[in-house]
Amino acid sequence: MLIISDNDFLCRKFHEIIQEGNFKNTNFTFSISPCSKIEDFYISKEKDLFVYNLKKTDDVDFIIQNFDLVFSIHCKQIFPVTLVNGIRCINIHPGYNPMTRGWYPQVFSIIYDLPAGTTIHEIDIKLDHGKIIARGTVEKENFDTSETLYKKILNKEIALLGQNLKSIINNAYETIDPESDGNLFLKKDFKNLLELDLREKTTVGAFIKKLRALTHGDFKNAFFIDPKTKKKIYVSLNLQIEDDE
């Protein structure tokens, strides 16, 4: 089994699940894409970590010839048709399919009041589109930002992985078809949200919701253009719940 990821946290948690489970008959290989650096992954201290570029035919052919199963965990690469058709490929997606397919699903979950959660699914030729193996929602609060909601989703992903990994490895699971094509959000859709129009008329609620969706730690997401300097002024939201008395 090949695990390919660009998320250090999930790699470490996946490794913990393997260590706690009984997977003696399965060999696990961890890898990353060229988008990441090996030194950024803690697991590289315990295991060899490989780099596979899915745009390279030689890398794709090697994977097909040497593995029985590929598991994508927040991999930033698109799986090519030859790989999907040549070997069983599974994806864990930080969105509730088919409602929030694509990039940064927690952002669009907040903005459009869509379910937030995670989905384990077979990979087909469309983005976050294949048959669903397991999925679950997380509770979304009015004080959640992109960052806090994403952390909830990560924890849900770890739980679903632990519950379903053995059946996935043994190819002993049932799937359901997505109810529809749902919503597909691309990276350009996210970028189109970032610039705030100072002349836009909206409600306080809608504006707060947008800033919640675009606030993610130290990331510089939402901005407006200063009319005087013509420079970007970045904006984020700081929310604090009232203490119980």
Q: What is the pTM of this model?
A: 0.92
In a domain, 123, yes or no: yes
Shortest CA distance to 90 belongs to which of 48, 65, 112, 118? 118
Domain count within the chain: 2
Please give the average pLDDT of every successive group of 10 residues along the chain, which has 245 residues: 94 90 87 91 84 96 96 94 96 96 97 97 93 97 96 96 94 95 96 95 95 96 96 95 81
69-73: strand order across its sheet? 49-51, 29-32, 2-5, 69-73, 88-93, 117-122, 132-137
Structure tokens at 31: 């890898």
pLDDT of residue 24: 81
In this structure, the answer to whether residues 29 and 122 fall within a common structural domain is yes
- C-alpha to C-alpha distances, 16 to 26, 158, 161, 177, 178, nearest whole angstrom: 15, 10, 11, 30, 30
| Exposed / middle / buried, residue 66 (Cβ in 10 Å: 0-12, 13-18, 19+) | exposed
- 123 vs 97: CA distance, rounded Å: 12
- Let me know whether 207 and 106 are in one domain: no
Torsion sign (Cα): 129, 132, 138, 139: positive
The pLDDT, as a whole number, for residue 242 is: 87
| Separation between Cα atoms, residue 3 and residue 101, nearest integer Å | 21
Which of 185, 201, 222 marks a domain boundary? 185
Task: Give helix 146-169 / helix 8-20 axis angle, nearest 10°.
Answer: 40
Same domain, 110 and 180: yes
Query: Do residues 36 and 127 both lie within one domain?
Result: yes
Q: Would 244 be classed as within a structural domain?
A: no
Q: Which residues are catalytic?
A: 93
Are the C-beta atoms of residues 155 and 117 closer than 8 Å to each other?
A: no
pLDDT value of position 22:
80
Within a domain: 30 = yes
pLDDT score of 183: 96
Contact 71, 4 (CB under 8 A): yes
Which structural domain, as residue segments, surrounds residue 157?
2-185
